[in-house]
Structure formats: structure tokens, C-alpha cells
């Protein structure tokens, strides 16, 4: 598995690797960064290239440094391929696909693309632009193409001139992601009484935290915000809280560890997902947001944008409320609607968990890809 981004960061990457490791010998070749933190299980070898480097330093490096970094990655990937003689290559992002296609001599390629770059705005002086263009040109050479959302897939495949249908694998949470410490109905009743709202996401104006503060202040309910933010945006959040929350019911946690995240999920009654359509990724994120599925696994009803991508994927789901995410009053009305009746709330909570258990956990969603890989390798290959 070739991953040019940090293999530890993308939840679906980790979930896919764990599933494949049950059937194949799996080696991941990834760049190194100071965000590498997972202890990968036996059966998965992770080869991190170079010493740990802060992600911001990787992103802001000079063009020459970025070119050297890619060439180093390409060389390490070529050496790993020569040593392992893989039966199949799994490229997890466009840059990794470009690298795999440059060094591969034989063997089928699986291409899974989590994020869709803004293909209309690629700067011509950027190395990444030319690698993405090369990845587009070679997409049709991949045996299988996988996307988390159908509109992202159509957008990429149209630009690639590839008329095939991608396999759509929504970014579901692993089956065992959330384990309640009490009966579901009892937990739901406790949550309904506490009425806490939770928003777990990277923080920025495009992610709707400011609207979340205004909405929860209007609805009169507690709010927990968790996720990374710039110091400047954190200051704007704190100013908005001070203005709108005299009762001090809104808490800003910043980035949290796994134990804190699970505690906040356990204590929450409603999950928020307020991504604005500022890019193709956020416009087409209905089935691509891991947070949606983590909320569902925890049995939380969820507030989502009333946009096409979300309607296509979630219309008819009992645990979902669609709102105008630019209007805090609409968000507040959605929260109040979910919490209006205890029995209905318990039903919504159980529907969210049932959706996770029966249809939307990653093991079930990833099965078409696993089966296709098994077919390509005749169950005897190494990935």
C-alpha cells in the first residue's frame, strides 16, 4: 500500500489496512511526519520514509525540497517493490498513484482517492499539479478505482477520461468503534436529559463552528467543540462564546486524544456536521465524512447540511436532520426538533446505531473492494 499522505491520519486508510491484513501480507510505504502515532498490529509493516518532519513544514517546503521529497519517496517505493515483489499495489491518493505507476513493472493497481483536488485550479508551477495530471492520465490503467462519494468519483473520472464506474466505499467507522457501557435505551435517555451537542472537526470558518456557537446559544443547549484550529480562529471562537454564552455552557476543547473523544461521544446527545461547500470535497461530502459515521456508531442523531450530496446519501434516514448550515436559527431548530420528545429521541438514537451495525460500518462497506482484490490475487497474493 502506497500512501503519500500520512498513513496514520486517515481513518479509512487504517480501517482498510486492518481488513486486508486478515487475508494478505501488507506493507505500507508512507512519508513520515510528527503526526505518526499509531501502533500498527502484527501483519502490517509500515515503512516511514526519512526522519519525522512536522506536517506544516512538509506543506510549506520550497518547490526544490518538495521535488527531492517526492524523488526520495519514489526511490524507497521502488526498493520496497523490488524487495517484496507484491502481487498487487494499493495506491491511496493521487500522488501515490503517480508514484506506483512510475515504478510498477507488473501487477494490478487499486486506486483509492479520499480527497478530490480542485482540478480547475491547479497551479502550473507546482510539482503536485504535474503529479496529479499524471495520475489522471494513468487512472484508467488501475484495475479498480475507489471513492468515498459518488460525485467525487464522477468529478475525477470525467477529468481522467475514464468511463468506468468507481466502487463507492463511504468512510464508515469500524464495526467496533464505539462500545456503550450501558443499555442503549438507558444511554439515550441519559443523553436526552443532558442535551449536550457535540461537534468534532477541524476548526475554521468553512466548517461552521461559529454558526454552531450561535445555534446552541439560541437553542439554550450545551455545546462541546473539539478539533484543531489556528490560534487566530481559536481566538474568534472564544470571542463568539463570550458574546453569546453567559451561562458558560459552551466548551472549546481543541484537539483531543482518543479517550477524551470517546468520552465526549458518550456524553453527547446530538452530533453536528456543518461543512460549507467551499471546495469539491466539502460540496460532495455526504458519504465521505468520517465524523458522520462515528456519530452514528455512537448512536447520535446528526445535524447535516441540506445539500444534494447529503440528500442523495441520507434522505429517509431516521437519525438525520437536514438544516441550512448558514443560518444558526435553522441549526437551532434542527437541534430542538431532535430533542423535543424523549421517546422519539430514543428511537432516533437506536436507528443511528442500527444503521452502523447493519449497513454503514466499514467492514461491510469495504467488502466489494476486498472481494475484488481477492479475485485479482486468486486469494494467494501479497498486497
CATH of the domain at 204: 3.40.50.2000
Does 90 share its domain with 206? no
Does 17 share its domain with 151? yes
Does 235 share its domain with 352? yes
Query: Which residues span the domain enclosing 310?
Result: 184-360
Q: Is residue 177 part of a domain?
A: no
Does 147 share its domain with 216? no
Q: Is residue 273 part of a domain?
A: yes
Q: Is residue 276 part of a domain?
A: yes
What does each of the 383 residues of the chain score in pLDDT, given as a tens digit? 999 878 887 888 889 999 999 888 899 998 887 666 777 877 899 898 877 777 677 667 777 888 888 999 999 999 999 999 999 999 999 999 999 999 987 889 999 998 888 888 877 778 889 999 999 999 999 999 999 999 999 999 999 999 999 999 999 999 999 988 778 889 999 999 999 999 999 999 999 999 999 999 999 999 999 999 999 999 999 999 999 887 789 999 988 988 999 999 999 999 999 999 998 888 999 999 999 999 999 999 999 999 999 999 999 999 999 999 999 999 999 999 999 999 999 999 999 999 999 999 999 999 999 999 999 988 544 44
Q: How far is CA 262 from the centre of its chain?
A: 17
Question: pTM here?
Answer: 0.92
Does 367 share its domain with 355? no
The number of distinct structural domains making up the chain is 2
Does 346 share its domain with 274? yes
Does 207 share its domain with 316? yes
Q: Is residue 383 part of a domain?
A: no
Amino acid at each position: 500500500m502506497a500512501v503519500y499522505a500520512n498513513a496514520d491520519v486517515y481513518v479509512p486508510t487504517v480501517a482498510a489496512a486492518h481488513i486486508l491484513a486478515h487475508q494478505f501480507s501488507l506493507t505500507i510505504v508512507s512519508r513520515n511526519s510528527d503526526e505518526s502515532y499509531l501502533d500498527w498490529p502484527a501483519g502490517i509493516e509500515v515503512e516511514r520514509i526519512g526522519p519525522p518532519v512536522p506536517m506544516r513544514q512538509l506543506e510549506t517546503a520550497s518547490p526544490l525540497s518538495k521535488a527531492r521529497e517526492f524523488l526520495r519517496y519514489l526511490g524507497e517505493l521502488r526498493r520496497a517493490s523490488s524487495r517484496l515483489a507484491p502481487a498487487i499495489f494499493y495506491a491511496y491518493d493521487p500522488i501515490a498513484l503517480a508514484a506506483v505507476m512510475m515504478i510498477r513493472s507488473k501487477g494490478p493497481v487499486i486506486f483509492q482517492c479520499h480527497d478530490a483536488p480542485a482540478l480547475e485550479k491547479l497551479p502550473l508551477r507546482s510539482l503536485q499539479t504535474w503529479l496529479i495530471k499524471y495520475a489522471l492520465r494513468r487512472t484508467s490503467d488501475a484495475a479498480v478505482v475507489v471513492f468515498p462519494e459518488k460525485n467525487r468519483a464522477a468529478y475525477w473520472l470525467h477529468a481522467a477520461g475514464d468511463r468506468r464506474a468507481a466502487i463507492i466505499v463511504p468512510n464508515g467507522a469500524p464495526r467496533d468503534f464505539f462500545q456503550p457501557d450501558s443499555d442503549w435505551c438507558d444511554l439515550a435517555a441519559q443523553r436526552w436529559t443532558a442535551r449536550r451537542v457535540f461537534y468534532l472537526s477541524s476548526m475554521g470558518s468553512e466548517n461552521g463552528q461559529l454558526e454552531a456557537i450561535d445555534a446552541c446559544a439560541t437553542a439554550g443547549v450545551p455545546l462541546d467543540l473539539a478539533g484543531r484550529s489556528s490560534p487566530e480562529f481559536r481566538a474568534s471562537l472564544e470571542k463568539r462564546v463570550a458574546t453569546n454564552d453567559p451561562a458558560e455552557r459552551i466548551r472549546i476543547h481543541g484537539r483531543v486524544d482518543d479517550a477524551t473523544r470517546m468520552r465526549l461521544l458518550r456524553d453527547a446527545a446530538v452530533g453536528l456536521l456543518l461543512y460549507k461547500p467551499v471546495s469539491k470535497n466539502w460540496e460532495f461530502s455526504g458519504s465521505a465524512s468520517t465524523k458522520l459515521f462515528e456519530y452514528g456508531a455512537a448512536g447520535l442523531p446528526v445535524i447535516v447540511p441540506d445539500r444534494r450530496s447529503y440528500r442523495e446519501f441520507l434522505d429517509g434516514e431516521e437519525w438525520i436532520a437536514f438544516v441550512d448550515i448558514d443560518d444558526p436559527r435553522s441549526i437551532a431548530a434542527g437541534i430542538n426538533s431532535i430533542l423535543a420528545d424523549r421517546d422519539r429521541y430514543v428511537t432516533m438514537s437506536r436507528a443511528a446505531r442500527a444503521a452502523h451495525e447493519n449497513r454503514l460500518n466499514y467492514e461491510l462497506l469495504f467488502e466489494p473492494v476486498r472481494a475484488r482484490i481477492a479475485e485479482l490475487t486468486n486469494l494467494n497474493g501479497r498486497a
